[in-house]
Amino acid sequence: MTGPVLLTAAEMGRADALAVKSGVASASLMERAGEGVAAAVMRGWSKRPTVVLCGPGNNGGDGFVAARKLAEAGWPVRVGLLGERENLKGDAGLMAGLYGGEIAPLTPALLEGAGLIVDALFGTGLSRPLDGAARAMVEAVNAHPAQVLAVDLPSGIDADTGDVAGGDAGAAIRAARTVTFFVKKPGHVLFPGRALCGAVEVVDIGIPFSTLEEIRPRTFENQPAIWAREFLRPGFSAHKYSRGHAAVVSGGRLKTGAARLAARAALRAGAGLVTVLTPPEAAAENAAHLTAVMLREAADAAGVAAVLEDRRFTAALIGPGAGVEPETARKTLAILRAGAAAVLDADALTCFADRPEALFEALREGDILTPHAGEFARLFPDIDIAALGKLEAARRAAARAGATVILKGADTVVAAPDGRAAINVNAPPDLATAGSGDVLAGMALGLRAQGTPGFETAAAAVWLHGACGQAAGPGLIAEDLPEALPQVLRALLTPPEAAKDEGGS
């Protein structure tokens, strides 16, 4: 599997070294990288005055190659360099020599009359926030009307976190397009990096894919390829009992909607049976709104435990609408002791804020936690998302909890306790609406109830949730999302050949 693999800066360095070890010349990697950039320029824009901004490392080396290729094609090119020409080392020094044209100092005056700017200041080697001449240049570029093509990454973006180095006080290029090499980096898919990249193109520079066998990447773009879609299709011998029985714990009388939303999503995601466990005082309210979803009373933690003694329950969800009272923590622990797989959301997470260890001790590997950033901070107060980035924070949290963590947001990160992580890219902003998270938890519940492992369940649920958001479109409300699942699943499970037949008949 290579398509959805993401490599960190360190892993990319290893890929580079392994390629060279296998006999690929390092200068040829840079030559092809720069060639790819020049080709993208010529494909993307008509001929116009182009300014190439080169940095002091190999990103700048790619810039010199691109400038040479553009000049050879008759493009009017100007090159600016951060630092001194004689300080360029290795392949970058070589490529600066081969460029042959004038190399100007890096000042905003370079941009006068530019119709296009190629940003080759920094790539995966960025090691601190931009300052001095680099920062002044980046600010001038962002204020300039010409579009920007970024080489590898928009300069200022951290390849591993997608953050602007230095945070709000830092600076980074805003690009219309980004050309990267071999495979994408996490910084291309995590915000704000994702937004600053514009359209991302991946260019093959001759690094053999066999290097991935040695690197064993653990970070992926969340695509169906990473969670083999077979589990979404019931086998021919399936019956409702073989597809799992999911339980959803309902909140009190005025907070029952969240559980019903989740229950419906679980049923649509393929759980054979779904039962809402309701406090007696909310039974009438729940009963009035349920049809295919079943209903049982469970007054408290003991009641939940009693229902789940029936081992045909394969998974249970608590959190949506649950309330942060101590009884929610007791019910959560009852679920974890019962042996069914657990999906814990919202209040079921927050109610452990004062004693997270009690929760972590009870969790098992297949369990799933679905915090947003606020819930995450309450449960993992010493894992600082702002300092570590979402990816590393989610990874540490999953290792700490011993369960899969879905750290929700526009770029939701799914992390497993074994170190695997997936970054989601298909969620439209329309999903930021009341009840949307309840539906996601329900989708995870429905998949987990069928025996799908925790990480695959979580990644698939997040992707399906995003796809349902796209299918429902602008104006969507949470109720629309489970209803969009059949069309999303049909598209996902229809082989391309059959889809052609359907379209053509």
Give CA–CA dist 200/159, Å, rounded: 14
Closest contact distance (angstroms) between CB of 203 and ligand NAX is 9
Q: Is 412 annotated as a binding residue?
A: yes
CA–CA distance, 272 with 240 (Å, rounded to integer)? 4
In whole angstroms, how close is the CB of 314 to ligand NAX at the nearest point?
45
Q: How far is the CB of 101 from K ion (least distance, A)?
A: 20
Q: Supply the DSSP symbol for 163.
A: P
Q: How far is the CB of 124 from ligand NAX (least distance, A)?
A: 4
482 is in an annotated binding site: no
- Strand boundaries in 235-324, DSSP class E: 245-249, 273-278, 294-297, 313-318
In the complex, least distance from residue 193 CB atom to ligand NAX, rounded to whole angstroms: 13
User: Could you say which residues in the range 205-224 bind K ion, by CB under 5 A?
Assistant: none
Q: Which tokens sit at 358?
A: 């009690």
Instruction: Yes or no: say if 493 and 445 are a contact pair by the CB < 8 Å rule.
Output: no
Q: Is 87 annotated as a binding residue?
A: no
5 and 183 Cβ atoms separated by less than 8 Å: yes
Place of tokens 């519940």: 445
Task: Report, in Å, the least distance between residue 313 CB and ligand NAX.
Answer: 50
Q: Which does 155 bind (CB under 5 to 8 A by kind): ligand NAX, K ion, none?
A: K ion
Please, which residues have CB within 8 angstroms of residue 355's CB and are 6 or more apart in sequence? none
Judged by CB, which is closer to ligand NAX: 154, or 417? 154
Q: In whole angstroms, how close is the CB of 57 to ligand NAX at the nearest point?
A: 2
161 assigned binding-site residue? no
- Interacting residues with ligand NAX (CB under 6 A): 12-13, 15-16, 29-30, 33, 55-62, 122-128, 130, 134, 151-152, 181, 205
Q: How far apart are CA 414 and CA 425, in angstroms?
A: 12
- Asked if residue 201 binds K ion (CB under 5 A), the reply is no
Nearer to ligand NAX, 19 or 394 (CB): 19
26 is in an annotated binding site: no
Q: Beta strand pairing status for 273-278 and 147-151?
A: unpaired
* Residues near 500 by beta carbon (within 8 Å), at least 6 away in sequence: none
Size of the site for K ion (CB under 5 A): 4
Interacting residues of 241 by C-beta distance below 8 A, sequence separation 6+: 272, 273, 312
Q: Considering beta carbons, is residue 173 or 359 the nearer one to K ion?
A: 173
Q: Of 151 and 261, which has the nearer Cβ to K ion? A: 151
Binder of residue 55, out of K ion, ligand NAX, none (CB less than 5 to 8 A by kind): ligand NAX
Let me know: does 241 contact 310? Beta carbons within 8 Å. Answer: no
Secondary structure string (H, E, C) spanning 3-16? CCEECCHHHHHHHH
Q: Closer to ligand NAX by CB, 151 or 444: give it.
A: 151
Q: How far is CA 360 from CA 181, 245, 368, in A?
A: 40, 25, 11
Asked whether residue 270 is marked as a ligand-binding residue, the answer is: no
Write down the least CB distance from residue 497 to ligand NAX, Å.
37
Q: Select 128 or 216, whichever has its Cβ closest to ligand NAX.
A: 128
Write down the residue that tokens 């296009």 correspond to: 116
Measured from the CB atom, the residue of 165 and 478 that comes closer to ligand NAX is 165
> Counting runs of H as helices and runs of E as strands, what totals does the chain give?
21, 18
411 is in an annotated binding site: yes
258 labelled ligand-binding = yes
504 is in an annotated binding site: no
Closest approach, Cβ 150 to K ion, in A, equals: 5
**Nearest residue (CB) to ligand NAX, 94 versus 368:** 94
Q: Are strands 368-370 and 341-345 parallel, antiparallel or unpaired?
A: parallel
Is 37 a residue that touches K ion (CB under 5 A)? no
126 a known binding residue?
yes
Give the whole-angstrom CA distance, residue 276 versus residue 361: 26
First to last CA, the chain: 34
Known binder of ligand: residue 435?
Answer: no
What's the rounded Cα separation, in Å, for the pair 453 and 366?
6
Residue 58 binds which of K ion, ligand NAX, none (CB < 5-8 A, kind-dependent): ligand NAX
Asked whether residue 124 is marked as a ligand-binding residue, the answer is yes
Contact set for K ion, span 111-170 (CB under 5 A)? 119, 150-151, 155
Minimum gap (Å) between residue 76 Cβ and ligand NAX: 24
Is 188 labeled as ligand-binding? no
Q: Measure the CA–CA gap between 416 and 406, rounded to whole angstroms.
A: 9
| Minimal CB distance residue for K ion | 155
What, of K ion, ligand NAX, none, does residue 119 touch, CB below 5 to 8 Å by kind?
Answer: K ion
CB of 55 or CB of 244, closer to ligand NAX: 55
E strand intervals along 193-249: 199-203, 219-221, 245-249
Comparing CB distances to K ion, the nearer of 155 and 436 is 155
| Sequence-distant (≥ 6) Cβ neighbours of residue 505 within 8 angstroms | none
Say if residue 164 is exposed, middle or buried (CB neighbours under 10 Å; 0-12, 13-18, 19+). buried
**Contacts with K ion, residue ranges (CB under 5 A):** 119, 150-151, 155
Binding-site residues for AMP? 408-412, 437
Residues of the binding site:
58-62, 119, 123-129, 152, 155, 258, 321, 372, 408-412, 437-438
Residues within the annotated binding site for (6S)-NADPHX? 58-62, 123-129, 152, 258, 321, 372, 438
